[in-house]
């Protein structure tokens, strides 16, 4: 099984002079996870233009192409291969938002398809010129409800057995997939969904992809049990996907908390995404283990063990190094404006999901995430 990480915020974290420790000894985290844990792949997200019209960065890694090149070269020097995660947006994409890049507004569907093809091809050609060896490519991020809204959005109609607009979504996906095949024919191409405990939804999506001859290699999943369900729900879906479609399955995002205590003790305002307040408000959230260091360790160990039994061939832990240092934000106010999520705290909302605690000490979960 491939073990990987998504550490796309690493360059912004590095600017804050972080320190990481394992059993009291300071370590360089990329080298340590590679050498100690057997982690060999890094997933890096790519945003088209993560700055506003006046040049203010959106935060959360501000993952434009120059940042991708710098991070990829650093990771390659430490023995990692590269999974490039195209968001086809200027900022975060997930099932609740798939925002058109600013420069792509006002296009028709056909023009947008050409833009996806041209952008994908140019990006990959430029990466080759920089000496970046990309081994796998993800076309869209958590596209459970489509991408590049409104053009590629999947819409529910209670009168119909499946969602509307798969033709447009398949058209857009094919542009990115074709460009990737042309530039890097040996790279593995992924389609990535979440809601990974939902058998019916995944079967609908990939049945519709097959009907339209969408050419890809790997089914990518997110698995955060809070939102996606128990291990039983998750692996029921995994088993169905594996037997029905015969493609490799990768968990390209996974994570679990090691504490529910906020890192900002006064005026927290939701500094931690997965916290006591979260579970008080999210009555349908699943909690497979306690949100403690032992609970994180048990979640990771169980995920690796059961994934091997069920034929999953890669697992990527999401943002293991994203410490809650001053100025590190999931979004700046400018990023919030772009995705229309103003008024939320801009703190790092993921610090209690890392593989290092708030002080940079390795959690018990770090040793569990190991070959």
DSSP 245-298: H---EEEEEE---S--S-SS-SS-SS-SSSSHHHHHH-TT---SS-SSHHHHHH
How far is residue 345's CA from residue 357's CA, in Å, rounded to a whole number? Answer: 21
DSSP strand pairing (146-147 vs 152-153): antiparallel
- Of 12, 194, 253, 329, the catalytic one is 253
294 in active site: no
Is the backbone peptide bond immediately before 150 cis, with ω within 30 degrees of 0? Answer: yes
DSSP 143-184: -TTEETBTTEE-B--TTSSS-B-HHHHHHHHHHHHHHHHHH-
Nearest to 90 by CA among 108, 69, 111, 65: 65
306 in active site: no
Reading the block at residue 273, the tokens are 């995404």
Per-residue burial over 278-311, b if 16 or more Cβ lie within 10 Å, else e, is beeeeeeebebbebebebbbbbbbebbeebeebe
Count of alpha carbons within 13 Å of 189, Cβ hemisphere only?
22
Q: How many helices (H) and strands (E) does the chain have?
A: 12, 12
Burial of 272 (0-12, 13-18, 19+ CB in 10 A): buried
- Of 12, 28, 111, 142, the catalytic one is 142
Length of the chain, in residues: 371
How far is residue 296's CA from residue 293's CA, in Å, rounded to a whole number? Answer: 5
Residues annotated as catalytic are 142, 253
């Amino acid at each position: 099984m491939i073990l990987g990480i998504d550490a796309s915020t690493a360059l912004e974290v590095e600017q804050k002079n972080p320190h990481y420790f394992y059993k009291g000894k300071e370590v360089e985290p990329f080298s340590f996870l590679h050498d100690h844990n057997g982690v060999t792949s890094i997933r890096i997200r790519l945003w088209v233009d993560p700055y506003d019209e006046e040049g203010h960065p959106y935060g959360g890694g501000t993952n434009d192409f120059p940042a991708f090149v710098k991070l990829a070269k650093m990771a390659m020097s430490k023995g990692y291969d590269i999974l490039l995660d195209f968001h086809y947006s200027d900022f975060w994409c997930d099932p609740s938002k798939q925002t058109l890049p600013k420069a792509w507004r006002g296009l028709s569907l056909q023009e947008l398809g050409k833009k996806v093809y041209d952008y994908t091809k140019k990006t990959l050609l430029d990466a080759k010129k920089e000496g970046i060896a990309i081994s796998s490519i993800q076309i869209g991020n958590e596209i459970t409800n489509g991408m590049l809204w409104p053009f590629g959005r999947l819409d529910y109609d209670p009168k119909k057995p499946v969602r509307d607009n798969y033709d447009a979504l398949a058209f857009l996906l094919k542009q990115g997939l074709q460009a990737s095949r042309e530039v890097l024919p040996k790279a593995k191409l992924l389609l990535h969904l979440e809601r990974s405990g939902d058998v019916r939804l995944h079967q609908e999506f990939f049945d519709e992809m097959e009907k339209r001859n969408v050419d890809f290699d790997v089914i990518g999943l997110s698995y955060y049990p809070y939102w996606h369900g128990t291990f039983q729900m998750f692996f029921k879906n995994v088993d169905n996907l594996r037997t029905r479609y015969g493609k490799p399955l990768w968990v390209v995002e996974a994570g679990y908390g090691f504490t529910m205590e906020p890192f900002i003790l006064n005026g927290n305002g939701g500094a931690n995404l997965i916290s006591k307040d979260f579970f008080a408000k999210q009555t349908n959230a699943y909690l497979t283990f306690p949100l403690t260091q032992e609970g994180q360790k048990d979640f990771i160990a169980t995920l690796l063990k059961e994934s091997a039994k069920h034929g999953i061939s890669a697992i990527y832990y999401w943002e293991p190094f994203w410490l809650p240092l001053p100025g590190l934000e999931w979004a700046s106010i400018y990023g919030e404006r772009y995705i229309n999520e103003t008024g939320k705290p801009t703190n790092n909302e993921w610090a209690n999901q890392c593989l290092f605690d708030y002080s940079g000490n390795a959690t018990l979960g770090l040793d569990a995430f190991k070959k």
